[in-house]
Amino acid sequence: MVQLVNTVLGPIAPENLGVTLMHEHLIYGYPGWQDDSAAPPYNRNKAFEICCCMVGKAMAYGLKTKTLVDATPNDGQRDPELYKMVADKTGINIICSTGLYTEEMGASAYLKVRRAVSGGFPAITEEVCETFLKDITQGIGDTDVKAGVIKVATGRGEITPYEGMVLEEAVMAQKETGVPIITHTEDGTMEPQQADLLISLGADPGRIMIGHMCGNADIGYSTKGFFQSRLGKLAKKIP
């Protein structure tokens, strides 16, 4: 049975995706943007005009009637209604995300407090996974837009316990839904470690895309990292 792909205008068959841009952001707002009283308020109609213009330019390079994945996580100012407007106007398939950003740049303060109230890691992990599942199977917020990918992220040079928790939640949601996991790496670091952790937790290797690897100009960092990681695991199995 072929698994359909959630787009903002409804599910489609994989063969209808065509050329796909895998990591785009129609809009983005770092946590706290809504508290900046001196800044202009968010204007969805203006954002719609700008997004349609930019998508139109992309179409001129061959993206016509194809697909883009908006990789904006839950704590990055997603706007499913905007995505629907742009998809309807331009004819492009748009896949939106569920997930969370890095500990430093995302909404970690809220979830850390919630974790303390919930009773620690096991409880909060299950609660956040439920959020991901709702976004994928029921819809984001009070919209009918269902997420088609799970977005996770780690900071520069380490995967913090908070970020590891988010990766675990993503794997839990993938196991139930089959939805792909896409990632953010800071400055092209922690790529092998992300892959190792996700796979060790049970993620499907064929449904993982590590993001921003181009942020590190040393291609050997990734290739050596993956190779050394596999060697290390093999060595542990040798008596």
- 3-state DSSP call for residue 149? strand
Structure confidence at residue 52 (pLDDT): 97
Structure confidence at residue 231 (pLDDT): 42
Minimum mean pLDDT among 123-137, 142-156, 174-188: which range?
123-137
Phi/psi region, residue 88 (left: phi>0; alpha: psi -120 to 50; beta: rest), is alpha
Instruction: State pLDDT tens for residues 150-195.
Output: 999 999 999 999 999 999 999 999 999 999 999 999 998 999 899 9
- 3-state DSSP call for residue 85? helix
Task: State how far the Cα of 46 lies from the Cα of 175, in Å rounded to an integer.
Answer: 38
Q: Which tokens go with 87?
A: 């998809």
Domain segments of the chain: what residues?
Answer: 5-237
Give the residues across from 235 on adjacent strands: none
209 pLDDT above the threshold of 60: yes
Give the residues across from 10 on adjacent strands: 7
CB 211 within 8 A of CB 184: yes
- 3-state DSSP call for residue 52? helix
Task: State how far the Cα of 21 lies from the Cα of 41, in Å rounded to an integer.
Answer: 29
Q: What is the CATH number of domain 5-237?
A: 3.20.20.140
Minimum mean pLDDT among 111-125, 126-140, 177-191: which range?
111-125
Structure confidence at residue 210 (pLDDT): 94
Q: pTM of the full predicted structure?
A: 0.90
CB 129 within 8 A of CB 169: yes
234, containing H or E segment? helix 219-237
How far from each other are the two terminal CA atoms of the chain, in whole angstroms? 43
Confidence band, pLDDT 50/70/90 cuts, at residue 218:
confident
Instruction: State pLDDT tens for residues 27-37.
Output: 999 998 888 99
